[in-house]
Amino acid sequence: MKAHLLLVIMALSASLAMAQTSECASRGGACRASAKKGCVRLQGKCENDQVCCQKADRLEKRECRQKRRCTNQGGKCIPQEESCLKARDDLCKGASCKCCLGGGELCADGTVLSDECEGAKCACCIPKTGPCECGVANDVRIIGGEEISPPNKYPWFIGLLQPEIFGNEFFCGGSIISPNYVLTAAHCLLGDDSLPSKAKKFQVGIANHNFNSEDDDIPGVTRAVDVKSYVIHEDYVPQDFNDNNNDIALLLLKETLDLTSYPQVRPVCLPSDPNRRYEGQKGTVVGWGDTKDGKGAYPDAAREVDVPIKDCKRKVAGVTITPQMMCAGRKKSKNKGAKGACFGDSGGPLFVKEGGKYTQVGIVSFGGSCLKPAVFARVSEFLTWISDNTPGETFCQ
């Protein structure tokens, strides 16, 4: 009799446990020993102080744990329902899981080619491309300035190289304006005899913040690109240093630049209105030029400075100012230091921010002293010339 009663009690207990488990299961859950991390609590009852956790969470936790075959390819096991730009179903355990090889933190929403790199733990990340936009910045300096931060903040800014003479040091600046062309100053291309040098002597440093360090270099992006040819404004007179008018040149690169895949390589915008004047506004000048007014203090890293754009005097350094020129900078005073371009900054851009984008309005040309405002070629005066000398070129908007 006692044995029969014990069997009845055990049967009732089992039935109660099954009922509680069924109640949890009916709510899409599973009974677990405790509410560990990852448990989504449900209202279903469980026996022996167990808790009812959302079953899908438990299965996902178990089935999508990381597998070496996936991680060796640089991937991560995730549920099938999660979005991923490129995935493989054979590298993770569980039918509801997949190995994500691109997207999110793994590849900055790019595409991964798992068989394009050497090494079991390597994968090739191809950044996602987007529309080509100009004047988008990536949020030490010239006279009165400081080092550009972060590096490649202004992705259109380039350094001009002449390896035979200056080695790996940039001697002039310039700016990317389209996939094939760079804008710079005409006088940067002259030799010691004041005559234009051959194009093959020049290179353009792309995405190179510090020419004496590789710490900020971007693999596959930071490099020197050869110049195929160039054109100097037909009215620029190289031998006449009392003129300096039309100090502008276009460099045609041997390599077409990718202006959509990498934020460190982007073009600057050109003025849309040829009649607009920028006097009274604040502009920015960037360069690797002298920071000590002709004393040879050339920085390794690019520097920037904000300068007021102002009306020019009738003459600067003995040169008559023309409508094709503009002035910017602040001269040294008792209370304020000088701010502006100096030796080595030639060819670099002067740009202003318009509607959230940067527009290049000037090219560093010349000046009487680094402690006084410098003279720039006024870009808006050369828009037709730029268009005529870049046939068939596409410009980003």
Q: What amino acid positions are annotated as catalytic residues?
A: 187, 247, 346
Q: Whole-angstrom Cα distance, residue 45 to residue 363? A: 76
Give the distance, in angstroms, between the CA of residue 359 and the centroid of all CA atoms in the same chain: 17
Give the distance, in angstroms, between the CA of residue 46 and the centroid of all CA atoms in the same chain: 55
DSSP state of 372: S
Q: Are 303 and 342 in contact (CB under 8 A)?
A: no
Give the distance, in angstroms, between the CA of residue 155 and the centroid of all CA atoms in the same chain: 6
Task: For residue 229, give the 3-state DSSP assignment.
Answer: strand
74: closest CA among 91, 94, 56?
91
> Is residue 324 packed enough to be buried (19+ CB in 10 Å), middle (13-18) or exposed (0-12)?
buried
Q: Whole-angstrom Cα distance, residue 282 to residue 186? A: 25
225: closest CA among 260, 195, 252?
252
Q: Please give the structure tokens belonging to residue 297.
A: 């203090």
Q: Is 49 left (phi over 0), alpha (psi -120 to 50) or beta?
A: left
Residue 257 sits at φ, ψ, to 5 deg, of -80, 140
Task: For residue 172, give the 3-state DSSP assignment.
Answer: strand
Q: Are 305 and 142 in contact (CB under 8 A)?
A: yes
Q: What are the CA-CA distances from residue 175 to residues 136, 154, 292 (Å)?
A: 13, 9, 24
DSSP calls for 277-329: --TTSEEEEEES--SSSSS----SB-EEEEEEEEPPPSEETTEEP-TTEEEE-
